[in-house]
Amino acid sequence: MNNQNPGLFDFLPDSPDEIICGVDEAGRGPLAGPVYAAAVILDVSRPIEGLRDSKKLTEAKRDLLAPLIKANALAWAIAEASEEEIDKLNILQASMLAMRRAVEALSTVPTLALIDGNRCPVMKIQSIAVVGGDDKVDAISAASILAKTARDAALVTLHAQYPQYCFDQHKGYGTALHLERLREHGASPVHRRSFAPVRKVLEEFALRAGKAA
């Protein structure tokens, strides 16, 4: 591995045969929609300027970088875990599942996965958790951008199906607007029923229905 962060990955094998992918997720906090993950193997001969944590980039900058990453990376993949899987497994395990799916979907099989955060999904290849990796490791930054742009696009699509919730504006996060629409219209099929604000609304609507019966 060509160590571009001296001291950060000195414990990794320095081998030209090492194939490293960066992995990150997007959408753990929202009340609706799937959680997305991406895995990226960068091509050191085709560097991409401006990579960093997707949360520190504007939407316009992310939208510019995403196609550059797809065009210049050695391999990339995007995967998701559904709302049903989130409610069944919990959001942490669903995020791990989405990340594993992204790695397994890569057209080139990596030998090592660098995962943003402090936990790693169970995979067949070696993985290392890197706290703050989305702003330290270019491959993880690239993955964070692909995951974020894919999820944002998915929420715009969900807005077309459920315009009353304004998913195109808040992307499913628990903003004042989203909570207002949730209380007004109840939970949609894409809301995460295990999340407290959604669960509370479901209980309130069930109580109203019981009183009306």
Binding-site residue numbers are 24-25, 116
Do the beta carbons of residue 57 and residue 163 sit within 8 Å? Answer: no
Please return the burial class of 85, using the count of CB atoms within 10 Å of its CB with bins 0-12, 13-18 and 19+.
middle
* Sequence-ordered list of residues with C-beta below 8 angstroms from that of 27, at least 6 positions apart, any chain: 33, 34, 35, 36, 147, 151, 171, 172
Query: Residues at the annotated binding site for a divalent metal cation?
Result: 24-25, 116
Please tell me the distance from the alpha carbon of residue 68 to that of residue 80, in angstroms, as a whole number.
21
| Backbone conformation region of residue 185, classed left if phi is above 0, alpha if psi is from -120 to 50, else beta | alpha
Amino acid occupying residue 144: S
